[in-house]
Structure 1
Amino acid sequence: MILSDNEVTRFWRDGFLHKAKVIPAQVIDAVAADARRILPADDLRHVNVPTPLGIRVARAMAASVAVARTVTDPCLLTAIGQLVQSSVFVHPRWILRVSMPRVHGRFSMPPHQDFPFTQGALDTITCWIPLHEVPEESSPLMFVARSHQRGLWPIDHTRQRPVCDVSALDRVKWEVVPCAVGDIVLFHSLTVHASRRATDGLSRVSIDARYQATHDHISPVELTPMTDMQDVAVLQRDHGLAQRAADIGLRLRGPVPTDVLDVDLHESRLAERTTPREP
């Protein structure tokens, strides 16, 4: 077992979980080596990637076998299987992200929830994996604990992307999560999270992927890889994902309005999973 019963309960209670030393260092090193071959810098912490180039980099890295091996690492899949209590489907939209330091503002990535982007399964889980040490001054992830228990938070409709209305977050307590190499951070699709503004003047490079139970719904867009490759089945086969979505019974579901959620199901699942187990 990768996660203890207490860690599983904490994830469903708080909406996120930091777990140290899950991914072997040599696996992370292989991803970092691929990234250095593609990014315009030998030192990942000094990368400066304008948005158009960043999109091309993300697509190139999505086709990296090293990245695919990392997001399908057996220890990682075991941990997520413990959380969803099911066999696990890996969304083929894994991605490398470069967060560059910003001079102004509190966040390098504004507060948001993943569900408006992912749709599909309510209990979709994101795994975030840094490619280097991320101390507090290097734009670590930050979370509003238990925010997933409130469903969807108010959205700032003045922004192009569905980010949270910061006025709804004035009095919340943020929990900052520094990481070492090999650590992972798991969080629920409804957990409010952001990236803290870097104060060390360096970029932050990470990969992330999303996972869900094989019996749950999925949005068709989540079956489209972040590459130019058109054949999803071939990509999944080449990256060692044993079963295609149709073969394992995933149910396709179109976009869900952001004000509609199965609240009763969400609350009942949370209640079940945050109740301590009998010894």
Structure 2
Amino acid sequence: MTEPVRLHGAGTRARADRAAFLRDGYVVARGVLDPAALEAINAEMGELFALQLRRLGLPVDRGPSREAWQANAARLLAVDVETYINTARMTQMLPSAHRLMAGDAILALVRDLGIGFPVVSTRLSNHIMSEALRIPGGYHKSPPHQDWRSMQGSLDSVVLWAPTTPVSEASHPLQVVPRSHLMGLLDTVEHIMTPTVSDPRITEDSYLSLPMQPGDVVAFSSFLVHRTGEAGDGLVRIAFSTRYNNAEEPTYVEHGYPTPYKYSYRTDLMVPDFPKAADIARIFPDATGD
């Protein structure tokens, strides 16, 4: 099992243990990110939900606690599922979160693990977990899966998972199957969220939970089998994840940098008859609508 690695401390930054990463498929790095920065991101995310509650004339629980954060998100979910989903997605668009997960500390970590030319694989993801925030008709916890099937990038690609709230055995921890990356790409069955690994070698006692604190980061191979832990303590668990390919890995170069991600946009008006000239004039006083 990989021993936690402390990347920040007095003096020179410690190096992540690449040999352990190659052996076990993951490494937990303690204190990589600034907890104060993560707390500020939590507050920004919470304000997004509060803005929507105020628009709807609903009460807002104040303060930085996880209880207040969850209560506000749950209040919005109860009255407007679509707006809740849109707001949850908006938490992934915060510049502060992007700066953090593409910052020097993260890039140093992935380079330690052998990614010579890091390139972002896909957009930042935010994983908000709580039984109180279960979306009707949607998936809730991530099933056992390998991320490479959705990435299809470099063979040495790395996934990084960083919680902004404490993660214990009882707060939907990330669970990994050590050394499962050595099995290669595994067979799957369909699932509403992502193809689920189906292999008799992966059993319930294969999984290892990873307790973490804000500031810790787990980096793992895109071939490592992992899932969301079932146990919840009633409080929201929040974690960002991002993925890096290695632009100089030979097979990735040879294949011409393929990507399975297809981003599109709508050109029809999602809010009918908006904006009108008067709406634009509220931002630009000289607007005429001509």
Match of 2:287 in 1: none
The one-character-per-residue Cα deviations of 1:109-158 (angstroms, maximum 9, x if unpaired) are 21111011111222221111111111111011111000000012221246
Query: Within the alignment, does 1:28 sit opposite 2:61 as a pair?
Result: no
Identity %: 24
Find out whether 1:220 has 2:259 as its counterpart: yes
> What's 1:261 paired with?
none
Q: CA deviation at 1:3?
A: 4.8
Q: What's the offset of the Cα at 1:31?
A: 1.6
Tell whether 2:128 aligns with 1:128.
no
Q: Does 1:110 align with 2:143?
A: yes
Measured in 1, the distance between the counterparts of 2:89 and 2:258 equals 20
Distance 1:101 1:160, change over 3 A: closer
Equivalent residue number for residue 96 of structure 2: 66
The 1:199–1:33 alpha-carbon spacing in structure 2 relative to 1, beyond 3 Å, is closer
Whose Rg is larger? 2
How big is each residue's C-alpha offset from its partner over 1:69-93, in whole Å with a ceiling of 9 and x where there is no partner? Answer: 1111211111101112413112341
Q: Is residue 10 of structure 1 aligned with residue 20 of structure 2? A: yes
Q: What is the TM-score of this pair, normalised by structure 2?
A: 0.67
Q: Relative to structure 1, is the Cα distance of residues 59 and 109 closer, same or farther in structure 2, using a 3 angstrom cutoff?
A: closer
RMSD over aligned CA atoms reads: 3.0
Work out whether residues 101 and 197 of structure 1, in 8 Å CA contact, stay in contact via their aligned partners in 2.
no
Which residue of 206, 218, 242 maps to 2:239? Answer: 206
CA distance in 2 between partners of 1:223 and 1:157 (Å): 20
Change (3 A) 1:177 1:171: closer
Identify which of structures 1 and 2 has the higher relative contact order when contacts are C-alpha pairs closer than 8 Å and 6+ apart.
1
Cα deviation digits, residues 211-256 of structure 1 (max 9, x gap): 12222434434585xx9699xxxxxxxxxxxxxxxxxxxxxxxxxx
Q: Does 1:155 align with 2:180?
A: no
Q: Unpaired runs of 5+ in structure 1?
A: 231-279
Specify the code of the residue in structure 1 equivalent to 2:101. Answer: V
**Match of residue 56 from structure 1:** 86
Say if 2:195 is the partner of 1:185. no
Name the SS for the 1:84 alignment partner.
coil
Q: Which amino acid aligns with 1:192?
A: V
What is residue 172 of structure 2 aligned with on the other side? Answer: 139
Partners of 2:14 and 2:224 lie apart in 1 by 20
Q: Is the 8 A contact 1:118 1:219 kept in 2?
A: no
What is the TM-score of this pair, normalised by structure 1? 0.70
4+ runs deviating over 6 angstroms: 227-230
Contact 2:70-2:235 at 8 Å conserved across structures:
yes
Cα gap change, 1:229/1:88 in structure 2, threshold over 3 Å: closer, same or farther?
farther
